[in-house]
Amino acid sequence: MVCTEWLARPFGNTIEAILPFFERYHIGWHVWGLCAVGPAQYQYPWDWPMGSPPPEKWFHCLLYPDGMPYSAEEILMIRDFKYREVVEQVKTQSYWLSWNVDINQAAGQNGLPRSSAITGIKPDERS
Protein backbone atom coordinates (compact mmCIF):
# COMPACT_ATOMS: atom_id res chain seq x y z
CA MET A 1 0.00 0.00 0.00
CA VAL A 2 1.22 3.51 -0.78
CA CYS A 3 -0.37 6.61 0.73
CA THR A 4 -0.02 9.47 -1.73
CA GLU A 5 -1.83 12.36 -0.08
CA TRP A 6 -1.58 12.50 3.68
CA LEU A 7 0.14 15.74 4.67
CA ALA A 8 -2.47 18.32 5.73
CA ARG A 9 -0.83 20.27 8.53
CA PRO A 10 -3.81 22.53 9.42
CA PHE A 11 -5.88 19.41 10.09
CA GLY A 12 -3.29 17.76 12.33
CA ASN A 13 -1.90 15.45 9.62
CA THR A 14 1.69 16.43 10.27
CA ILE A 15 4.87 14.54 9.54
CA GLU A 16 5.41 14.10 13.27
CA ALA A 17 1.94 12.61 13.73
CA ILE A 18 1.69 10.40 10.63
CA LEU A 19 5.17 8.94 10.06
CA PRO A 20 4.98 6.70 13.18
CA PHE A 21 1.78 5.20 11.76
CA PHE A 22 3.50 4.50 8.43
CA GLU A 23 6.47 3.07 10.33
CA ARG A 24 4.35 0.71 12.39
CA TYR A 25 2.15 -0.60 9.57
CA HIS A 26 4.78 -0.54 6.79
CA ILE A 27 2.81 1.83 4.60
CA GLY A 28 4.67 3.32 1.68
CA TRP A 29 4.31 7.07 1.26
CA HIS A 30 5.43 10.15 -0.58
CA VAL A 31 4.79 13.85 -0.14
CA TRP A 32 2.34 15.41 -2.57
CA GLY A 33 3.77 18.75 -3.68
CA LEU A 34 7.41 18.60 -2.66
CA CYS A 35 8.23 22.23 -3.42
CA ALA A 36 6.06 25.34 -3.04
CA VAL A 37 6.58 26.58 -6.58
CA GLY A 38 4.56 26.81 -9.76
CA PRO A 39 0.88 27.24 -10.45
CA ALA A 40 -0.31 24.32 -8.29
CA GLN A 41 0.44 26.12 -5.01
CA TYR A 42 0.13 22.99 -2.84
CA GLN A 43 1.18 24.88 0.27
CA TYR A 44 -2.29 26.48 0.36
CA PRO A 45 -5.28 24.59 1.81
CA TRP A 46 -8.29 23.82 -0.37
CA ASP A 47 -10.45 26.87 -1.09
CA TRP A 48 -7.78 29.32 0.11
CA PRO A 49 -8.91 32.82 -0.97
CA MET A 50 -7.01 34.03 -4.03
CA GLY A 51 -4.60 36.84 -3.19
CA SER A 52 -4.62 36.10 0.56
CA PRO A 53 -1.32 35.99 2.45
CA PRO A 54 0.30 32.57 2.80
CA PRO A 55 -1.13 30.41 5.59
CA GLU A 56 0.72 30.13 8.88
CA LYS A 57 0.79 26.34 8.46
CA TRP A 58 1.42 25.07 4.97
CA PHE A 59 -0.94 22.39 3.74
CA HIS A 60 1.50 20.27 1.67
CA CYS A 61 5.06 21.00 0.51
CA LEU A 62 8.38 20.61 2.25
CA LEU A 63 10.57 23.14 0.48
CA TYR A 64 10.56 26.80 -0.48
CA PRO A 65 11.26 27.54 -4.16
CA ASP A 66 14.94 28.18 -3.32
CA GLY A 67 15.25 24.69 -1.79
CA MET A 68 15.24 25.78 1.85
CA PRO A 69 13.09 23.54 4.06
CA TYR A 70 9.75 24.76 5.39
CA SER A 71 10.73 22.93 8.60
CA ALA A 72 14.21 21.58 9.24
CA GLU A 73 12.77 19.27 11.92
CA GLU A 74 10.45 17.66 9.37
CA ILE A 75 13.33 17.07 6.97
CA LEU A 76 15.29 15.37 9.76
CA MET A 77 12.30 13.14 10.61
CA ILE A 78 12.05 12.09 6.97
CA ARG A 79 15.80 11.49 6.77
CA ASP A 80 15.70 9.28 9.88
CA PHE A 81 12.53 7.39 8.91
CA LYS A 82 12.78 3.58 9.17
CA TYR A 83 10.11 0.90 9.17
CA ARG A 84 9.81 -1.19 12.31
CA GLU A 85 10.80 -4.82 12.15
CA VAL A 86 7.76 -6.92 11.29
CA VAL A 87 6.85 -9.64 13.77
CA GLU A 88 7.87 -12.99 12.27
CA GLN A 89 4.33 -14.39 12.34
CA VAL A 90 3.05 -11.56 10.13
CA LYS A 91 5.66 -12.39 7.48
CA THR A 92 4.13 -15.81 6.83
CA GLN A 93 1.53 -16.49 4.18
CA SER A 94 -0.39 -18.73 6.60
CA TYR A 95 -1.00 -15.74 8.88
CA TRP A 96 -2.75 -13.83 6.11
CA LEU A 97 -4.55 -16.87 4.74
CA SER A 98 -5.92 -17.63 8.22
CA TRP A 99 -8.15 -14.57 7.90
CA ASN A 100 -10.07 -16.39 5.12
CA VAL A 101 -11.82 -13.22 3.98
CA ASP A 102 -12.24 -11.93 0.46
CA ILE A 103 -12.05 -8.17 1.05
CA ASN A 104 -13.72 -7.54 -2.29
CA GLN A 105 -16.82 -9.37 -1.06
CA ALA A 106 -16.68 -8.27 2.60
CA ALA A 107 -18.35 -4.86 2.36
CA GLY A 108 -21.88 -4.79 3.67
CA GLN A 109 -22.18 -8.46 4.67
CA ASN A 110 -24.96 -9.01 7.20
CA GLY A 111 -25.45 -5.27 7.44
CA LEU A 112 -22.05 -4.78 9.08
CA PRO A 113 -19.60 -2.04 8.16
CA ARG A 114 -16.71 -3.19 5.94
CA SER A 115 -14.22 -3.17 8.83
CA SER A 116 -16.45 -5.49 10.86
CA ALA A 117 -17.05 -7.76 7.90
CA ILE A 118 -13.29 -8.11 7.39
CA THR A 119 -12.28 -8.53 11.04
CA GLY A 120 -15.38 -10.36 12.24
CA ILE A 121 -15.64 -7.93 15.15
CA LYS A 122 -18.90 -6.04 15.54
CA PRO A 123 -18.65 -2.37 16.60
CA ASP A 124 -20.26 -3.07 19.99
CA GLU A 125 -17.75 -5.89 20.71
CA ARG A 126 -14.64 -3.73 20.43
CA SER A 127 -12.77 -3.00 23.61
Residue 127: strand, helix, or coil: coil
Mean pLDDT of 13-24: 90
Residue 101: strand, helix, or coil: coil
> Residue 71 to residues 9, 55, 90: CA-CA distances in angstroms?
12, 14, 35
Q: CB-hemisphere CA count at 13 Å for 45?
A: 14
Q: Is the pLDDT of residue 126 over 50?
A: no
Q: How many domains does the chain divide into? A: 2
Q: CB-hemisphere CA count at 13 Å for 64?
A: 7
- Whether residue 104 is found in the same domain as residue 70: no
Burial of 90 (0-12, 13-18, 19+ CB in 10 A): exposed
Given this model, what pLDDT does residue 110 score? 55
Domain with 54, as residue range(s), is 1-85
- Whether residue 109 is found in the same domain as residue 80: no
Mean pLDDT of 93-110: 54
Prediction pTM value: 0.62
Given this model, what pLDDT does residue 68 score? 94
Answer with the residue of higher pLDDT: 38 or 89: 38
pLDDT digits (tens, 9 = 90+) for 50-99: 888 988 899 999 999 999 999 999 999 999 998 877 666 555 555 556 55
- Using CA atoms of 98, 101, 103, 109 in order, give the dihedral in degrees to the nearest 10: -150
- Whether residue 65 is found in the same domain as residue 126: no
Mean pLDDT of 22-36: 87
